[in-house]
Structure formats: structure tokens, C-alpha cells
Chains A and B, each alone.
Chain A
Amino acid sequence: AQTVTQSQPEMSVQEAETVTLSCTYDTSESDYYLFWYKQPPSRQMILVIRQEAYKQQNATENRFSVNFQKAAKSFSLKISDSQLGDAAMYFCAYRSPAIGAGGTSYGKLTFGQGTILTVHP
């Protein structure tokens, strides 16, 4: 079974600074998807960024970018120019391809434990 580990329960950053959240995962599959989701106090889970394992290029979305190291099974999220609105719980998630691995991981997301990000003004 796949596992996702976020080793930083809490992180803090000053407004306008850069912060990196860590995520490692364990899998024997070669094709998969990785995600970062943000969950603010309102509890609505919001997609931040998505990475396909077969793509070597790191995904970017405005101020958010990832450092995807497939061999090391590492998927970190970098937030540049941090804003007060970035304060939230961030979850790293793994998803297997829909078909394969016995078919039991069809569409399912496996989440890490989350990292609480605090942004100081």
C-alpha cells in the first residue's frame, strides 16, 4: 500500500517570504499522480497543484511550485511571496493510476497527515 509522509506538523513564514513544505511517499508503481491541497479554517479543501509522475518538469501555479524528485520519492511544495491568505493546513496526496496495482486503488487519494502553515504579517 502506498503511504504519504509529511514530516513537518507545523511551519511558519513571514509575509512576502518563501517557505517549503516537505512530502515523501512510498510506492512501487512507476505511474502515479501527486497533489497538494490546501485546507483553510473554512475546511474547504482546495487544489493547489498537481504533478504527473511521468513528467520530469516540475509543476508551477503562480506563486506555488513543486520540487518533484521521483527517485527519492520526494514532492515538496514551495510557496513564494507568502500572503496572509496562504495560512492553512496543507496536505500532500498520492493517487495511483485508475487501473493497475490490482485495481484496488482506482481514483483513491492517499493523504499525508498535513502541515499547518502560519503566515506572520
Chain B
Amino acid sequence: KAGVTQTPRYLIKTRGQQVTLSCSPISGHRSVSWYQQTPGQGLQFLFEYFSETQRNKGNFPGRFSGRQFSNSRSEMNVSTLELGDSALYLCASSLASRDTQYFGPGTRLTVL
């Protein structure tokens, strides 16, 4: 069974731009969570979707948003990019929100 896939793997943007990251969960998994990883803050929870509904949201500004489609694929969007948004963005999927989360390879975002 194919694992969690994330596209693109690498992205370079400039301040003020917006970006959309995509995550395809493991087949059959309905829950998708997003995390931001930086050297300073470590791994921080962004949000979680289950059956197209946002179930939980971390402490991030409104510039960070996401959605989930009927096929469980998820996207996250960051608008008005700031230098501090440079990070590895990880997506994880699970059968349901209670189950073990399996991670994708991440998208490395660099904001110049």
C-alpha cells in the first residue's frame, strides 16, 4: 500500500506570496493532520481534518488554512508569506483520528 505523499517536496517563495501544499493520505485513511517543523520551535500541530471537517486547529494565525476533499486528500494554504514561515511541513494520515498517524516525506518551504 502506498504511503502518504506530499507535493511539492521543495518550494521557494518570496515574502508576501501565498503557497498551497498538497497531501494524499494512505488509501482508506480519512484523517489528515498537518505539522510545522522548525529548528527553533520543533514540531507544532497546525490542524486536523476528518471526513472533510476541520476537527482541531493549532495556535497559528489565520494566514494558515486548510481543507480536505471527499477523497480525503488535503491541502494547506499559507497566505502573505513571512520569513518565519520557512519550515518543513509534514502531513500525517490515519484511519480515524484515534489511530496511529503515518507521516509523509514533507514539503520544505523556503521563504526569501
Please report which residues of chain A, range 19-74, place their CB below 8 angstroms from some CB of chain B when the two chains form the complex: 35, 37, 42-47, 50
Docked-complex contact B98 and A107, CB < 8 angstroms? yes
Of B15-23, B40-48, B64-72, B76-84, which stretch is located at the interface?
Answer: B40-48
Pick the residue among B101, B104, B106 that contacts A109 (CB under 8 A).
B101
Q: Is chain A's interface secondary structure helix, strand, loop, or mixed overall?
A: loop
Number of interface residues of A (CB under 8 A): 23
Query: Which has the most chain B C-beta neighbours within 10 Å: A37, A106, A108, A113?
Result: A108
B86 within 8 A of A: no
Give chain B nearest CB distance to A112 CB in angstroms.
8
Query: What's the A-B contact tally at a CB cutoff of 8 Å?
Result: 59
Q: For residue A113, which residues in chain B have a CB less than 8 angstroms away from its CB?
A: 42
B58 within 8 A of A: yes
A111 to B48, CA, bound (A): 15
With A43-B88, A44-B106, A45-B90 already in contact, the answer to whether A108 and B100 are too (CB < 8 A) is no
Q: For residue B24, which residues in chain A have a CB less than 8 angstroms away from its CB?
A: none
Docked-complex contact A107 and B56, CB < 8 angstroms? yes
A76 within 8 A of B: no
Q: Mark A65-104, 1 if CB is under 8 A from B, else 0.
A: 0000000000000000000000000010000011000001
Query: What are 8 A-to-B residue pairs whose CB atoms are below 8 Å?
Result: A43-B105, A45-B92, A45-B103, A45-B106, A91-B43, A107-B48, A108-B58, A109-B33
Q: Which 6 A-B pairs have the closest CB atoms?
A: A107-B97, A45-B103, A111-B43, A98-B98, A98-B97, A106-B55
